[in-house]
Chain A
Amino acid sequence: MSLDRIKPHLPWITLLVLVAIVGGADSNFLKPHNLISMVADIMPLFIMALGMTFAIYIGGIDLSAQSVANMTTVIATVALPTLGISAAVVCVVAGLAFGMVSGFITTRLLVPSFVSTLAVGGVAYSLAQYLSGQRALYMDATLRDGSFGWMVGKSFGIPHEIFVGGVLLLAMLFLQTRTTFGRALKAVGAGELAAVASGLNVTRIKVMAFALSGMLAAIAGLLFSVKLSGGSPTLANGFLLPAIVAVLVGGTPLTGGVGGVVNTLIGTLIVAVIRSSMLYFEIDATMQQMVFGIILIAAIAMTIDRSKLRIVK
């Protein structure tokens, strides 16, 4: 009984335990400056994971997120000189559109999201290569600071990325818990048939979930592009698997309907801490990936609430 009560809290307990372990090994890790900087750096990944949460929450997955982010780094960089801050709008709209296409293909054409998003990601990647002329581009520093400086500055010692991520988290949390859309999303994730039988437009809700995922992937790409002051069709490579891992470790399983955006925040931070721990424990370079995998298994074994999984597939 008491274990049941602990279960929902396991993700953040895991996070605290990990922080304590790394902090215990090297107190430098616990310096506020370091923790803040770590959180700020993980924000683009977090924002992508935030979007991924919605796709996974309805029992799907969005493998196009990384390519969409790649594409928006290019769009942001290419569009900045002519459009200024409106480049952001173009990025967000593009992400939204790609997400909607994924959603449409998944729901209407009945292609599993694993394949449909991978395919749509291919289109985004091609577009990124075409727009960039297949090379890495950089932003003019003054133009960047003029339009997007607010994204990457610092106030009260806190990098603005954290505010960007925080605002998005709050917005998505609000969306998830307080709006009809969030409620519908939960219904679709936990009981799709019942949602249909309640007259919900399940197709539209799913398309919107994928659209949100695409939009947040685009914002992740935009933020990363601004942070790095440039764009390239491969800039966001390496985001996809950590983003998925972050969602899963946070306790949103692929079966849908369980977990949510706060879990994803915790999951992302767990990923960040595990990654840093490699440095703090001076894990040999050739061993890091294996150790990461093993810790990951342990973390997932800890954090998933199996009582919500009917059968484990």
Chain B
Amino acid sequence: MYKLNKVDKKFPGVHALKAVDFTIGRGEIVGLVGENGAGKSTLMKVIYGAYQPDGGTITIDGTAVRFANPRQAMAHGIGMVFQEQSLITNLTVMENIFLGFEKQFVKFGVIDWKAMAEAARRQLAKVKLDIDPATVTSNLSFAQRQLVELAKVLTLEERIDGDLVILLDEPTSVLAREEVELLFRLVRELTSRASFIFVSHRMDEVLELSDRIYVMKDGAVVDVVTHDEANIDKIQHKMVGRDVDKEYYREQLQKPYDAERVLVGFDKVSVPGKYSDVSFDLHPGEVLCLVGTEGSGRECILRTIFGLEKPSAGTVRMKGGVQTTFKARRAVENGVGYVPRERKVEGIVGGMNVYENMTLSQMKNYASGGILRIREEKELARKWVDRLAIKTPSVFKDCGGLSGGNQQKVVLAKWRSGGSDIILLDHPTRGLDIGAKEDVYDMIREMCDAGAGIILVADTLEEAIGLSHTILVLKDGEVQKSFRGEPGNKPSLFDLVHYMT
């Protein structure tokens, strides 16, 4: 029913889509995979009307269409569920659901809130969400918000006669496993009313959910596989254009850590409302993974170590010294490096170039009396650009313009070059393509070899299991269980999930 024929899209200097053919049938779930920069997001934007193609045609049930903006695409039944937090948090759930389409509830210029609430309740019922539509969105959990998103897109059902095509852009990235399963169940049920295009970096999820999978590389569709013939290795091969290392998580490189020394010691540490009585030791060469759902206290523990959160009870030791002042600057002096989840806003400073970003945390090493030794900064940056194979035309390039993987490398280089040996990684591979992920995994092993201790909040449970020496499972701010994870003797997914929920 929905069909793209030889769609082309060019940007200055980039041929983003090259004669892409794409079809989706009624009630079908189509997966869309590809590395970052392969053209997935451009393709999606073309589909939901944010971009207009330069060449090719789009047809719905054989009729050619052209969308000048997302609103026109919506009128043809095409809706988009955005990646995380695309609801406006200061509005109520019902306002979000009907944003831009309030007209139906307006009588004589007045919004009939009761009618809107009623309609919103009907939408929420479709996604089996039982909340008051007048709830302010900021009070919802991430999983709830994701469902509200879906409910919002499903309003298209009432608005238009034809079939729906719903794009799901990384809908699972903020969800815990059981929430993902709930979402998938829902999507499958909804195929009676809509077709879905499912975009995710989590290959296993794509395989699990999709009827067919489009594989993109360099702006072109390189393969289309059906659910039954799909196979992770094969798809990844197509995406990357080469074989992916069997030892994805570099388990063979995992070495025992130095149990004698302790880099970070938590002894019954509590932050009110966030976590309580958390104890662990981080040793040189160790990867310690914090596992738990959103809100289980993982992030807050990282923030405590980095000095952004002051615990109310317990003692925090760093390299033997008991910490009394909790300041980020102090933590950095102690050798803590923080690789935040929101790479674009917290990791790098867009608008500053590569060397400026790399020395940001350690300017005093490159300054005498407050005056920067810029030449040395550049030397450092060139060295690390080579060492981590950062793809950038020069060290003067604005980091905001680098790809996600290269940005992450700059962030890691920032801490590693400054000699940090307590590295906090918050979703370090989020949104990275396979090649870049592998680079990150390599770097984690390398840092361990160099004697650094790593605290990891992983993007997926597999990643957590594959990478860590130690896994702490948290739930509601309390440590439920600690697992050891020597190669060959790792806990299973089931083990973890059991304690998470």
Contacts and interface: CB of A to CB of B under 8 A. Distances in A.
Contact of B349 (A180, A181, A187): A187
B101 to A, nearest CB: 22
A191 B349 contact: yes
A195 B374 contact: no
A200 B328 CA distance: 7
Interface stretch (B120-128, B207-215, B338-346): B338-346
B352 A186 contact: yes
Contacts of A193: 340, 342, 345-346
Interface stretch (B30-38, B43-51, B242-250, B358-366): B358-366
Interface in A119-146: none
Nearest to A186: B352
Contacts of B336: 199
Nearest to B303: A197
A194 interface: yes
B457 to A, nearest CB: 14
A199 B371 contact: no
A201 B329 CA distance: 6
A79 to B, nearest CB: 30
Contacts of A197: 306, 328, 338, 340, 346-347
B342 A198 contact: no
B331 A199 contact: yes
Nearest to B12: A1
A183 interface: yes
A180 B374 contact: no
A107 B414 CA distance: 27
A86 to B, nearest CB: 26
Interface string A51-75: 0000000000000000000000000
Contact of B370 (A180, A196, A198): A180
A195 B372 contact: no
A196 B308 contact: yes
A194 B349 contact: yes
A183 B372 contact: yes
A308 B349 CA distance: 13
A199 B329 contact: yes
A225 to B, nearest CB: 31
Nearest to B333: A199
Contact of B351 (A1, A184, A190, A199): A190
Contacts of A178: 371-372, 374
Contacts of A183: 356, 359-360, 363, 372
B351 A308 contact: yes
Nearest to A175: B370
Contacts of B371: 178-180
Nearest to B337: A199
Interface string B302-346: 000011100000000000000000011101100010101010011
Size range of the interface on B? 20 to 34
Contacts of A186: 349, 351-352, 356
Interface string B408-421: 00000010000000
A201 B342 CA distance: 19
A153 B134 CA distance: 70
B345 A194 contact: yes
A75 B329 CA distance: 38
Interface in A255-295: 257-258
Contacts of A187: 349, 352, 356, 360
Nearest to A257: B351
A198 B414 contact: yes
A190 B351 CA distance: 6
B367 interface: yes
A200 B308 CA distance: 11
Given A183-B363, A198-B414, A191 B345 contact: yes
A17 to B, nearest CB: 27
B350 interface: yes
Interface in A95-116: none
Contacts of B364: 180
Given A178-B374, A183-B360, A199-B331, A190 B367 contact: no
Contact of B347 (A190, A194, A257, A258): A194
Chain A binding surface SS class:
helix
B348 interface: yes
Nearest to A4: B12
Contacts of A257: 349, 351
Contact of B329 (A190, A191, A194, A200): A200
A195 B363 CA distance: 12
B360 A195 contact: yes
Given A197-B338, A199-B329, A201-B328, A190 B361 contact: no
Nearest to B363: A180
A201 B370 contact: no
A181 B346 contact: no
Contact of B327 (A1, A181, A198, A201): A201
B397 to A, nearest CB: 14
Contacts of B332: 198-199
Contacts of B370: 179-181
A82 B154 CA distance: 78
Contact of A258 (B329, B349, B351, B359): B351
Interface in A1-51: 1
Contacts of B351: 186, 190-191, 257-258, 308
Given A197-B340, A198-B361, A190 B349 contact: yes
Contact of A199 (B328, B349, B367, B374): B328
A199 B336 CA distance: 9
Contacts of B328: 196-197, 199-201
A48 B432 CA distance: 46
Contacts of A199: 306-307, 328-329, 331-332, 336, 338, 361
Nearest to A188: B349
A191 B372 contact: no
A13 to B, nearest CB: 22
B106 to A, nearest CB: 27
Nearest to A1: B12
A308 B308 CA distance: 29
B363 A191 contact: no
Contacts of A181: 370
Contacts of B363: 180, 183-184
A-B CB proximity, top 10 nearest: A199-B332, A191-B349, A190-B351, A198-B361, A180-B363, A199-B328, A198-B360, A197-B346, A193-B346, A194-B349
Given A187-B356, A194-B346, 12 more contacts: A1-B12, A181-B370, A186-B352, A187-B349, A195-B349, A195-B360, A197-B340, A198-B332, A198-B414, A199-B329, A199-B331, A199-B332
28 contacts: A178-B371, A179-B370, A180-B363, A180-B370, A183-B360, A184-B360, A184-B363, A186-B356, A187-B349, A190-B349, A190-B350, A190-B352, A191-B351, A194-B345, A194-B346, A196-B346, A197-B328, A197-B338, A197-B340, A197-B346, A199-B306, A199-B307, A199-B329, A200-B328, A200-B361, A201-B328, A257-B351, A308-B351
